[in-house]
Amino acid sequence: MHEPKKIVFIGSGAISTAIGNVLAEKEKYNIQLLSIEKDVVGSINKAHVNVKYFPNVRLHPALRATTDLNVLASAEVIFLGIPSNVIIDYIKKNKQYFNKEAVLVNLAKGFGKEHRTIPESIAKVIDNPVVSMKGPSFAREIINQMPTAFTIASKKDKYFELFKEIFGYTSIYLDFSNDVVGTELASILKNIYAIIVGIVDAHYDSPNLRSLILTNAINEMRYVINKFGGKEDTMFHYCGFGDFSLTALNDMSRNRTLGLLIGKGFFTNYISEKVTLEGKIAVNVFVDEILNKSFFKPKKLMMNELYRVFNEENYDLANFVNNILSLK
């Protein structure tokens, strides 16, 4: 009899707990959350709740948590559920613990080191295969068993069967892509354009205008993905249109909320410093990169106007919508 497949989630935050619990309910795998938060580990193992992130949700008893890095040595699949800005340093520090055959799954949405995507950055420090998993996925919905979609992106098709097996007969639905770069970029770009949609909605609660901006945003995302080496068609996977529509149109989204705050005049440097705002970081990175590429025309992108919002002290927000409409 085969031992159950060992799956480890690095991190015990909302997304790791939610996906881990979905898999634990299959009662087929050995699922562990690897965490530095001792109170969370204790609450999961003793009371079957995540006291910090889901204090009112009963977790499946098969979901376990640990602080012991040695669990990585026997893990067959390792999900990276920690913030994008710490993933590379974490792997550098702890790579001696990793099973060399384990498949790494990047759940984080953001850049790695030196403006590279996270899989590109991981490849510089460890030899394990890396798969991207991105999609329209609020953790609160996942843990409540609402059907949720992800794109699994890998350069090698052979890993697709693995994830079909792992997530089969769960509330998580998958599509598949070989465009790892485009999948990663789509998950970063959607934060930028969610901010733009938020600013527009703060000024005008107009279905017509919103649809116009959404269409322009999708086309810009396709254009930028293509210029940075991804495939435009990736925007039609769950990681593209799906993740963008979730982030741009739902008030649970931090980046949409940032846009609403900016549009209403409530955004301050204090808020910026206290909240993790992936979109603000991403727009500065992308525009800086675009300015160094001769084949781009940054003045024709809505993204560039948002860059001005963040970086010009006396930017006139009253004209933001007119400015982005005049780009076409």
Residues labelled as active-site residues:
190
Give the span between the Cα atoms of 273 and 275, in whole angstroms.
Answer: 6
The closest of 167, 163, 141 to 152, measured between CA atoms, is: 163
Give me the DSSP letters along 279-313. Answer: HHHHHHHHHHHHHT-TT--GGGSHHHHHHHHHH-T
> Which DSSP letter does residue 251 get?
T
Task: For 267-301, give one letter per residue: b (16+ CB within 10 A) or e.
Answer: beeeeeeeeebbbbbbbeebbeebeeeeebebeeb
Q: Where in 141-300 does DSSP place strands (E)? A: 148-153, 172-177
Tokens of 118: 């996270």
What's the angle, vertex CA 52, arms to CA 48 and CA 56, rounded to 5? 55
* Residue with token string 């409530």: 266
Which amino acid type is present at position 74?
A: S
- In this structure, the number of other CB atoms found within 10 A of the CB of residue 11 comes to 25
Tokens of 98: 């990793």
By three-state DSSP, how is residue 31 classified?
Answer: strand
The closest of 172, 142, 147 to 57, measured between CA atoms, is: 142
Give the span between the Cα atoms of 191 and 280, in whole angstroms.
Answer: 8
Label the pairing between strands 30-34 and 6-10: parallel
